[in-house]
Amino acid sequence: MKLLTHNMLTSKSMKTVVTGYPLEIQARDVKVMEVEFNQEFVARIIPKVDWECLCRAAEQLGHLDDLPIVKPDNFESNIDFLKKAHHVLLEVEVINGDLICPESSRKFPVTDGIPNMLLNEDEI
Protein backbone atom coordinates (compact mmCIF):
# COMPACT_ATOMS: atom_id res chain seq x y z
CA MET A 1 0.00 0.00 0.00
CA LYS A 2 1.50 3.26 -1.09
CA LEU A 3 1.23 6.25 1.22
CA LEU A 4 -0.85 7.99 -1.46
CA THR A 5 -3.48 5.28 -0.93
CA HIS A 6 -3.20 5.51 2.85
CA ASN A 7 -3.81 9.25 2.64
CA MET A 8 -7.27 8.62 1.19
CA LEU A 9 -8.45 5.75 3.40
CA THR A 10 -10.90 6.17 6.26
CA SER A 11 -12.94 3.89 8.51
CA LYS A 12 -15.85 6.36 8.56
CA SER A 13 -18.26 3.77 7.16
CA MET A 14 -18.26 1.95 10.52
CA LYS A 15 -21.48 2.70 12.41
CA THR A 16 -19.75 3.98 15.57
CA VAL A 17 -17.10 6.07 13.81
CA VAL A 18 -17.56 9.78 13.11
CA THR A 19 -14.31 10.64 11.31
CA GLY A 20 -12.10 7.53 11.17
CA TYR A 21 -9.15 9.49 9.81
CA PRO A 22 -6.22 9.35 9.64
CA LEU A 23 -5.61 5.65 10.12
CA GLU A 24 -2.52 4.80 12.13
CA ILE A 25 -0.03 2.48 10.46
CA GLN A 26 1.59 -0.45 12.26
CA ALA A 27 3.88 -1.85 9.61
CA ARG A 28 5.68 -5.17 9.83
CA ASP A 29 7.17 -5.01 6.35
CA VAL A 30 7.97 -1.80 4.46
CA LYS A 31 9.75 -1.64 1.12
CA VAL A 32 10.98 1.17 -1.07
CA MET A 33 10.32 0.43 -4.72
CA GLU A 34 11.58 2.80 -7.37
CA VAL A 35 8.86 4.39 -9.50
CA GLU A 36 9.53 6.64 -12.48
CA PHE A 37 9.22 10.30 -11.52
CA ASN A 38 6.35 12.15 -13.20
CA GLN A 39 6.58 15.82 -12.29
CA GLU A 40 3.17 16.74 -13.69
CA PHE A 41 1.35 13.95 -11.82
CA VAL A 42 2.99 14.77 -8.49
CA ALA A 43 2.33 18.50 -8.90
CA ARG A 44 -1.34 17.80 -9.64
CA ILE A 45 -1.87 15.31 -6.78
CA ILE A 46 -0.24 17.42 -4.03
CA PRO A 47 -3.30 19.71 -3.59
CA LYS A 48 -5.46 16.61 -3.00
CA VAL A 49 -3.14 15.19 -0.33
CA ASP A 50 -3.64 15.79 3.38
CA TRP A 51 -0.05 16.93 3.91
CA GLU A 52 -0.07 16.64 7.71
CA CYS A 53 -1.39 13.07 7.46
CA LEU A 54 1.26 12.18 4.86
CA CYS A 55 4.06 13.52 7.05
CA ARG A 56 2.73 11.60 10.06
CA ALA A 57 2.52 8.37 8.04
CA ALA A 58 6.03 8.85 6.64
CA GLU A 59 7.31 9.44 10.16
CA GLN A 60 5.57 6.29 11.45
CA LEU A 61 7.43 4.32 8.78
CA GLY A 62 10.78 6.04 9.35
CA HIS A 63 10.73 7.78 5.96
CA LEU A 64 10.08 11.41 6.84
CA ASP A 65 13.73 12.16 5.96
CA ASP A 66 13.98 15.76 4.78
CA LEU A 67 10.37 16.07 3.60
CA PRO A 68 9.18 19.51 4.69
CA ILE A 69 6.44 19.55 7.33
CA VAL A 70 4.72 22.39 5.45
CA LYS A 71 4.14 22.46 1.69
CA PRO A 72 6.24 25.25 0.19
CA ASP A 73 4.63 28.04 -1.80
CA ASN A 74 4.93 27.52 -5.55
CA PHE A 75 5.64 23.81 -5.00
CA GLU A 76 4.60 23.09 -8.60
CA SER A 77 7.92 24.42 -9.88
CA ASN A 78 10.08 23.15 -7.00
CA ILE A 79 11.64 20.00 -8.50
CA ASP A 80 13.51 19.07 -5.32
CA PHE A 81 10.30 19.19 -3.28
CA LEU A 82 8.32 17.28 -5.93
CA LYS A 83 10.93 14.50 -5.98
CA LYS A 84 10.80 14.18 -2.19
CA ALA A 85 7.00 14.11 -2.29
CA HIS A 86 7.10 11.55 -5.12
CA HIS A 87 9.37 9.31 -3.07
CA VAL A 88 7.10 9.33 0.00
CA LEU A 89 3.81 9.13 -1.91
CA LEU A 90 4.71 6.51 -4.51
CA GLU A 91 7.88 4.64 -3.59
CA VAL A 92 7.44 3.86 0.12
CA GLU A 93 5.08 0.87 0.44
CA VAL A 94 3.60 -0.97 3.39
CA ILE A 95 3.71 -4.63 2.38
CA ASN A 96 2.36 -6.19 5.58
CA GLY A 97 0.91 -4.59 8.69
CA ASP A 98 -2.26 -3.06 10.06
CA LEU A 99 -4.20 0.17 9.69
CA ILE A 100 -5.83 1.21 12.95
CA CYS A 101 -8.96 3.33 13.30
CA PRO A 102 -8.24 6.29 15.60
CA GLU A 103 -11.73 6.13 17.13
CA SER A 104 -12.57 2.43 17.47
CA SER A 105 -9.04 0.92 17.47
CA ARG A 106 -10.31 -1.58 14.87
CA LYS A 107 -7.42 -3.09 12.92
CA PHE A 108 -7.58 -3.46 9.16
CA PRO A 109 -4.89 -5.80 7.80
CA VAL A 110 -2.53 -4.94 4.98
CA THR A 111 -1.38 -8.12 3.27
CA ASP A 112 0.96 -8.20 0.27
CA GLY A 113 0.45 -4.44 -0.10
CA ILE A 114 -3.34 -4.61 -0.19
CA PRO A 115 -5.38 -3.00 2.61
CA ASN A 116 -8.49 -4.97 3.58
CA MET A 117 -11.09 -2.43 4.67
CA LEU A 118 -14.03 -4.87 4.62
CA LEU A 119 -16.33 -4.57 7.61
CA ASN A 120 -18.15 -7.28 9.54
CA GLU A 121 -21.95 -7.18 9.45
CA ASP A 122 -22.19 -5.89 13.02
CA GLU A 123 -19.91 -2.91 12.13
CA ILE A 124 -22.10 -1.58 9.31
CATH of the domain at 74: 2.20.25.10
For residue 30, pLDDT beyond 90: yes
pLDDT at 100: 98
Assess if residue 123 is contained within a domain: no
pLDDT at 66: 85
Assess if residue 72 is contained within a domain: yes
Q: What percent of the chain has pLDDT over 70?
A: 100
92 CB contacts (<8 Å, ≥6 apart)? 2, 3, 30, 32, 58, 61, 63
pLDDT at 67: 92
Count structural domains, the chain.
Answer: 1
Domain hosting 32: range is 3-11+20-112
For residue 54, pLDDT beyond 90: yes
Assess if residue 34 is contained within a domain: yes
Q: Model-level pTM?
A: 0.93
Assess if residue 124 is contained within a domain: no
